[in-house]
Amino acid sequence: MASDFTLEFERPLIELEKRISELRNFVGESQFDVSAEIQALEARAERLRQEIFKNLTPSQRYQLARHPGRPFALDYISRVFTRFIELHGDRAFRDDPSIIGGIAVLDGTPVTVIGTQKGRDTKENIKRNFGMPYPEGYRKALRLMKQAEKFGRPIVTIIDTPAAYPGSGAEERGQAEAIAMNLREMSRLRVPVIAAVTGEGGSGGALALGLGNRVLMMENAIYSVCPPQSCAAIIWRDGSRWQEAANALKLTSEDLLQLGVIDEVVPEPGGAAHRDRDGAANSLRECLIRALSELSKLSPDELVMQRYEKFRNIGRFLAEVEGQQSRAAQNPAAMQDSADAQGHVGTQEPEEMPDSGIEGV
């Protein structure tokens, strides 16, 4: 186990695994043969693991996404990439430790990798600002992206942030402008961009690194406009109803894949990434290599257009009014007249605007 922190729903599995470990230690210290008992407990633990992690609710996945033992950006970088060289600073204000980035190699291909980084303890969390970037962090990320474009390097972003930092200092230095600038410039990048949501994907703070040709998402990560607690406080004025909000927000990888917001779900071996960091990193590495291979076949113009069309198509739905299809089959002429009438409502030509006398208005 990567962490001593235990969620309530995984406690039965943790206790069973602890019992198996104690039996193994007992075998090493005695002459008794308890291999049959160990095998039976291991089979039981595997069944329990599948039962727990294959039937997770959105609120449980939200808890897993925030698990303190979950691998962070530097954990993935050390396992997925080689020859990583970190680069610092936005060349305007200062370096932001909550966003790390630099040059690395992915399966023989030089890339630029950028990620939001949380801390493992209080001291590191203060240094990393709990994974919530300042404007200078986003400007550093954009500087590295433009550098990657200049030298033709693909870009990989690793997203795990509750949100952009909302403090007064961040607002004074232009937090909203920094996020908006990233969105605009990322949409124009002429190199492959792959975004991977590995933990929390919170609001514009995540989207500022998420405008990619491919958007991947770890199986138990979340991607949402705001945390469930904030949503519950806004909608119901009651933060304790966060589990209801988690169900309504459609923030899980399965929901977002169905809605077309993401392109692929990255499986987490062992049920959850915090239980097997190496396995989670290997799964992500395979998906990144496959995505990069596919995107490398596109020209710069095709990359820009593919990215544009991908995000323009998000949120388009075709809804069928209940009973409309059957009525149309019975009387198609009447349905067409009704549709024409609705189409003309509010479409009268506006009156001609008076001449303002100002050219270009």
Please compute the mean of the pLDDT values over residues 192-220 and round it to a whole number.
Answer: 94
In whole angstroms, how far apart are CA 355 and each of 253, 349, 350?
54, 17, 15
Would you state the pLDDT for residue 316? 73
Whole-angstrom distance, CA of residue 334 vs CA of residue 281 = 59
310 CB-near residues (< 8 Å, 6+ apart): 213
Would you state the pLDDT for residue 128? 94
Q: Is the CATH number of domain 64-312 1.10.10.60?
A: no
User: pTM, whole model, 2 decimals?
Assistant: 0.82
Would you state the pLDDT for residue 325? 54
Higher pLDDT, 7 or 157: 157
Whole-angstrom distance, CA of residue 217 vs CA of residue 266 = 6
Would you state the pLDDT for residue 27? 66
Residue 77 corresponds to which tokens in the numbers above?
A: 């970088």
10 Å CB burial of residue 203 (0-12, 13-18, 19+) is buried
Element (DSSP H or E) covering residue 137: helix 135-150
Does the pLDDT of residue 257 top 90, yes or no? yes
Percent above pLDDT 70 for the chain? 84
Does the pLDDT of residue 2 top 70, yes or no? no
For the segment 160-187, what is each residue's pLDDT rounded down to a tens digit? 999 999 999 999 999 999 999 999 999 9
Does the pLDDT of residue 54 top 60, yes or no? yes
Whole-angstrom distance, CA of residue 184 vs CA of residue 1 = 41
Would you state the pLDDT for residue 361? 36
Please compute the mean of the pLDDT values over residues 178-200 and round it to a whole number.
Answer: 96
Does the pLDDT of residue 360 top 80, yes or no? no
Does the pLDDT of residue 345 top 50, yes or no? no
Q: Are 154 and 296 in contact (CB under 8 A)?
A: yes
Ramachandran quadrant class, 271 (left: phi over 0; alpha: psi -120 to 50; beta: rest): left
pLDDT grade, residue 129 (50/70/90)? very high
Would you state the pLDDT for residue 79? 96
Give the start-to-end residue ranges of the domains of the chain.
Answer: 12-23+37-55, 64-312
pLDDT grade, residue 350 (50/70/90)? very low
Torsion of CA 106, 111, 112, 116, to 10 degrees: -20
Percent above pLDDT 90 for the chain? 64
Other C-beta atoms closer than 10 Å to the C-beta of 128 total 22
Residue 284 corresponds to which tokens in the numbers above?
A: 């992500």
Higher pLDDT, 104 or 11: 104
Higher pLDDT, 4 or 240: 240
Would you state the pLDDT for residue 198? 95
Residue 143 corresponds to which tokens in the numbers above?
A: 């500087």
In whole angstroms, how far apart are CA 206 and each of 182, 271, 340?
11, 24, 43
Please compute the mean of the pLDDT values over residues 129-158 and round it to a whole number.
Answer: 96
Q: Are 196 and 157 in contact (CB under 8 A)?
A: yes
Average pLDDT, the chain: 86
